[in-house]
Amino acid sequence: MRMTEIFKQHNPAFSFEFFPPRSRAASERLFRTVAELVPLEAHAVSVTYGAGGTTKERTHELVTRIREDTSFTVVPHLTCVGAGRDETARILDLYVDHGIENIMALRGDPPQNGQAGGETTTAEPATPGQKNPHEAFPYAADLVSFIRKRYPQMGIGVAGFPEGHPQTPNRLAEIEYLKAKVDAGADYICTQLFFDNRDFYDFRERCEIAGIRVPIVAGIMPITTRKGMARMADLAAGSRFPARLLRALERAESDEYVENVGVHWATEQVLDLIDVGVDGVHFYTLNRSDATRRIYDNLGVSSAGRLSRASA
Ligand SMILES: Cc1cc2nc3c(=O)[nH]c(=O)nc-3n(C[C@H](O)[C@H](O)[C@H](O)COP(=O)(O)OP(=O)(O)OC[C@H]3O[C@@H](n4cnc5c(N)ncnc54)[C@H](O)[C@@H]3O)c2cc1C
């Protein structure tokens, strides 16, 4: 189902994100995770694309397997970096043949030190020189335009950064660039992770002022370990860790308690987002089910059915 339909039918819409596993064992673990998350009734799941397109085949395999094995609406991510027009069309044709109706269109970042990446939707540490004129699609807006013209039926999501993209010094221009993606044909925006909902609400308001009228989905990633948190800080450069959250994490005696704090914090964020009438909540699962399931438990529900009401 196209994401625009999903937003019409569910308010908020819930989605989960996975990254392509690197080994057969990791792939089997991921499919256990997917099976554990099925009862939570996400309205869509997305699959990341490694930095510089490094997980092209693995992303495709995972997308088609989830599509075949589950009833989830699957949204593959696709990036511009290193992608030619013919190769991009080949990938999109393949998705269309497999009944995929939505794409998350991103610029992506070049791989760092040969790293395959793909574990996260978040920006790689700042890379100097944003625009490469030799790229077929220098910015995500160019990719959106290409998809919209060639695949008019395809649902298209794009990335938004409530606290600013780490490579954009001009915050006013940044919202203009975001609007360019929507004007080029994007149907919705999914945000980078954030820990303070006020940043998200301010971002929504700035979008509204700029005339951006598409659904904006809030990206939520619970902290589960200290090591994971350090990695998040690297990858989601620009995302702020509020002092109150840091103080609570500092008190935690072990990683088990760190996860309790992280899940509690994310639960509060989701509760508030639902109350305020957010269009969608996107959980960065890191291919694990426990934290997302615990958040649902804390919200007092076993599936999304009682969290989202049918939209008007
Ligand atoms: C929800 C989400 C999912 C993601 N999934 C992936 C993934 O699967 N794989 C992956 O590799 N990365 C992923 N990323 C990371 C993303 O690719 C990087 O953060 C990338 O640097 C920005 O991508 P974008 O699509 O926002 O690019 P763009 O919108 O093209 O923006 C890139 C930079 O260029 C600037 N810019 C845009 N247009 C112009 C213009 N006309 N003139 C001058 N400057 C301009 C922007 O302000 C920004 O700084 C994801 C990020 C998010 C939030």
Cβ contact 282:15 at 8 Å: yes
The pLDDT tens digits for 56-110 are: 889 999 999 999 999 999 999 999 988 899 999 999 999 999 999 999 999 998 7
Domains and CATH numbers, the chain: 3-305 (3.20.20.220)
**CA 126/CA 106 separation, integer angstroms:** 16
CA of 109 to the centre of ligand 1 (A): 8
Ligand 1 atom closest to 117 (CA): 11
The pTM of the full predicted model, rounded to 2 decimals, is 0.94
At residue 286, does pLDDT exceed 80?
yes
Distance (Å) from CA 161 to ligand 1 centroid: 9
Helix axes 140-150, 85-97, angle to 10 degrees: 50
Q: Based on the residue annotation, tell me whether 17 is a catalytic residue of this protein.
A: yes
The answer to whether residue 114 scores a pLDDT higher than 70 is no
Interval 146-176: pLDDT, tens: 999 999 999 999 999 999 999 888 999 999 9
CA-106 nearest atom, ligand 1: 25
pLDDT at 273 over 80: yes
Q: Is the pLDDT of residue 9 over 70?
A: yes
**Pairwise CA distance, residues 130 & 108, whole Å:** 10
Is the pLDDT reported for residue 196 higher than 90? Answer: yes
**Percent of the chain having pLDDT more than 90?**
81
Q: 42-54 pLDDT, tens per residue?
A: 999 999 998 777 7
Q: 3-state SS of the chain: helix, strand, coil percent to 5?
A: 45, 15, 40
